[in-house]
Structure 1
Amino acid sequence: MSDAVVDDIVALLPPLLQSIEALGFVARYLHPPEFGEVMRLAGTPDAQLRSELPRVAKWPDQFAHLREPLRMAGDHALAAFDGLRAVDSGAGDLGAVFRALRHLPQALEALYPLAATLPPVSGLYLDPALQQDEALHARLAQPKYADSGVFHYANEPGSRGGFSFYVPEYYTPDRAWPLVVALHGGSGNGRLFLWSWLRDARSRGAIVVAPTATGRTWALMGDDADTPNLARIVDFIRSRWSIDPERLLVTGLSDGGTFCYVTGLDDASPFTHLAPIAASFHPLLAGMASADRLRGLPIQIVHGRHDWMFPVELARQAQQALFKAGADVSYREIEDLSHTYPREINAALLDWLNGAG
């Protein structure tokens, strides 16, 4: 690698990684009444990124394997900030904020191939609490298992019914691994939602699958085409990788969280643990489930006190109804959470799934 390319990477990576982290901050703390303050706290790392990103355009094609992931990730990060700043200046609404933030997982997807060769990039996909873990770094330094990494099956943005998934690069078939099935929110896409979980799956050793609903959102009314589709997806993963039958978690955000109840309370459900996040709930969901299915079923409900879409009282009612019905239910109410995904909960959910929390 030429000295000029090295110098460009050294100049570009800090503002690129800082911009991605800042977008993650906005996504986590997004609350409509406080949007302006959240943007102020996020800072302006995109200004330096905008200045440094043109460096990669002049690289020769022999460095395309580095140039293109960096360029694509940078373009997505800048597009996200452009959209957010437009709303902050009064040109747009909450829908425009959500559209802008869709560029964040696209930036993460574009940059991920460089995690294997650039240590600062690898650190972006590790839990901060484990970034200095020598045993984890030793596992990541081993030769990559052939059937590991990020995969997409009929799951291009805008498509329905496909799925994306991640298998840790240090996977070995000689032990059974936990499986997390993570369901996106309404009008979402599993390919994007996968990146809400990849960092923690990579850090702690789990296989994570992010399906896309067969319809505009999950089958919360009418015919349920999603439950059989999830069953097919789980069967596919279990047929090719070693999955622990006692550690099968279905979790999800918003409509995906509500569908955790719908599909997870079914008698035929393969899932051993349920974790609905920022979900709606109706007592009929518990009433329709059989006593045998509910008895002792581990359920962890996560909800934000400032949720503006599904008031927190719904989650409190869900905890009470499911507890009375015999489930082994716990409840986490996050004081500063609005209607968004609290990525910090993933580590606790994996500890719980693994019997340590």
Structure 2
Amino acid sequence: MDDADREFDELAALTGALLGAMEALALIGRRLNPPDLPELLAAVGAPEAALSEHLQQASGWQGPVAALRGPLEAAGQAVISAFEGLRAGVAAGDMMQSFKALRHGPRALEALYPLAGLLPPVSRFFLEPAVRGDAELQARFNAPAPHTGVMHGGGEPGAHGAFSVYVPEYYSPDRAWPLVVALHGGSGNGRAFLWSWLRAARSHGAIVVAPTAIGQTWALTGPDLDTPNLAHVLSEVGARWTLDRQRLLLTGMSDGGTFSYVSGLEPASPFTHLAPVAAAFHPMLAQTAEPERLRGLPIHVAHGALDWMFPVDMAFQAVGALEAAGAEVVYREIDDLAHTYPGELNPEILAWLDATPRPARG
């Protein structure tokens, strides 16, 4: 075996180890409930150990695959840092350290994504598991259209008031595309939260915009500077890509979910659908909303039975108040979900969005 063949074999091994470790990290992020973290870490083992060994081999690449080393190393080091932080947090009894460690996950995804167009296993990784065997879908990524993929606008990526956007590589202006505006949680940013929706959007054909709040979190108290910024972002995106004006979804996690209520129930809101996840809710939101805005408004509420930040009773309260006000509510309670994002619901939410068109407002 010559050096080039050996390096290609090492590339395949490194890619497999990296994707496996990233799936394990995603599993922890999805199932993270503070008391269960030590057991979760024990269950996934130490995938970062094999990943580290393969990265060491890659450091010596000299042939054609050497051009791929940078993104693979950046993604791999982010994953290793995530596992190190998780384990250190458990050892120190510092759950906040463990939560912060998960921030390395989106950094790994962002570093790896440019290789989706070059490495088929990476492309499949960025699809929903149910469609990874769809050869026709995978072929759509072979010739990306201009101005597609992951982009950023409004300032530095992740900066307050800026936004990140994903447009499927097979985008065509000849059809109207559903839009998902996804709002991060209280300590997050749009650059990172975009990745919670990318697989579903890439698999099923939707444009995703993930803005970052103007302040430290969304405008849940005081002057609302975020709603005008969302309108500005929507205008920018709508001027550049063809949007389905009957399928404009405002969704979000935690504080972002709460703000999807606050902003989405405004009389002039342009959004046709709302999908708050793990959100706080106060009955006044429904009581003070314009009756015409709520009547028939499609709202998809998702909440975890194990949510330790916003107890699931808040979701019951929200559903009751919204239904009483005339909204068309779908409720999903997830038995094993704590206060984390249930990405497995995204295809269901997109199917619901597709099935319930509603004329845009404003």
Quick check: TM above 0.5? yes
What per-residue deviation string (whole Å, max 9, x for no partner) do you get for residues 5-37 of structure 1? 212202211111111000000000000111111
Following the alignment from structure 1 to structure 2, what is the Cα–Cα distance between the partners of residues 192 and 61?
A: 33
Distance in 1 between residues matched to 2:270 and 2:96, nearest whole Å? 35
Aligned residue in 1 for 2:28: 26
Residue 127 of structure 1 corresponds to 128
**Amino acid of the residue matched to residue 354 of structure 2?**
N
The one of 83, 89, 97 equivalent to 1:81 is 83
Q: Name the counterpart of 2:169.
A: 169
Q: CA offset at residue 338 of structure 1?
A: 0.2
Match of 1:255 in 2: 255
Instruction: Mark the CA change 1:234 to 1:157 in structure 2 (over 3 Å): closer, same or farther.
Output: closer
Between the aligned partners of 2:94 and 2:244, the Cα distance in structure 1 is 44
Q: Look up the match of 2:277.
A: 277
Matched, 1:189 2:192: no
CA distance in 1 between partners of 2:170 and 2:151 (Å): 15
Q: What is the CA-CA distance between 1:156 and the residue it aligns to?
A: 4.3
Please state whether the residue corresponding to 2:269 is helix, strand or coil.
Answer: coil
Q: After TM superposition, give the deviation of residue 118 of structure 1 in Å.
A: 0.5
Q: 2:144 is aligned with what amino acid?
A: K
- Change in 2 beyond 3 A, CA 1:61/1:228: farther
**Paired letter, 1:307:** D
* Higher mean C-alpha displacement, 42-51 vs 329-338: 42-51
Q: Is the 8 A contact 1:254 1:280 kept in 2?
A: yes
Are the aligned partners of 2:187 and 2:216 in contact in 1 as well (CA < 8 Å)? yes
- Residue range with higher mean Cα deviation, 94-103 or 3-12: 3-12
The Cα of 1:138 is off from its aligned counterpart by 2.6
- Measure the CA separation in 2 of the matches of 1:210 and 1:65: 30
In the other structure, the counterpart of 2:360 is: none
Deviation sequence 1:115-173 (CA, Å, 0-9, x none): 111111111100000001132123223x1101101001246466211000100000000
How far apart are 1:60 and its partner, in Å? 4.0
| Aligned equivalent of 1:4, options 3, 6, 11 | 6
**Match of residue 311 from structure 1:** 311
Which whole-Å CA distance do the structure 2 matches of 1:36 and 1:187 have between them? 24
CA distance in 1: counterparts of 2:177 and 2:225, whole angstroms? 27
**Contact 1:182 1:210 (C-alpha < 8 Å) held by counterparts:** yes
- Residues 204-224 of structure 1, C-alpha deviation per residue, up to 9 Å, x if partnerless? 000000000000000000000
Task: Report the CA distance shift for 1:249/1:83 in structure 2 as closer, same or farther (over 3 A).
Answer: same
Match of residue 59 from structure 1: 61
Q: Which amino acid in 2 is paired with 1:128?
A: P
Q: Is the 8 A contact 2:158 2:192 kept in 1?
A: no
Distance 1:61 1:9 in 2: 11
Give the unaligned 5+ runs of structure 1: none
CA distance in 1, matches of 2:126, 2:339: 24
Counterpart secondary structure, 1:58 = coil
What are the within-5 Å matches in structure 2 for residues 108-257 of structure 1? Answer: 108-141=109-142, 143-154=143-154, 156=156, 159-257=159-257
Q: Cα deviation per residue 1:241-286 (whole Å; 9 max; x = unaligned)?
A: 0000000001000000000001100011110000000000001111
In the other structure, the counterpart of 1:302 is: 302
Distance 1:56 1:161 in 2: 39
Partner of 2:335 in structure 1?
335
User: Which residue identity lines up with residue 30 of structure 1 in the other structure?
Assistant: L
Q: CA offsets per residue over residues 290-343 of structure 1, 9 Å max, x none?
A: 001000000010000000000000000000000000111111000110000000
- Between stretches 32-41 and 346-355, larger displacement belongs to 32-41
Counterparts in 2 of 1:157 and 1:147: CA distance versus 1, 3 Å: closer
Corresponding residue SS for 1:337: coil
The CA distance in 1 between the partners of 2:95 and 2:335, in whole Å, is 22
- Percent of residue pairs identical: 57
Unaligned runs of 5+ in 2: 358-362
Residues 158, 112 of structure 1: CA spacing in aligned structure 2 closer, same or farther, 3 A cutoff? closer
Aligned Cα RMSD in Å? 1.6
Q: Distance in 2 between matches of 1:177 and 1:340?
A: 28
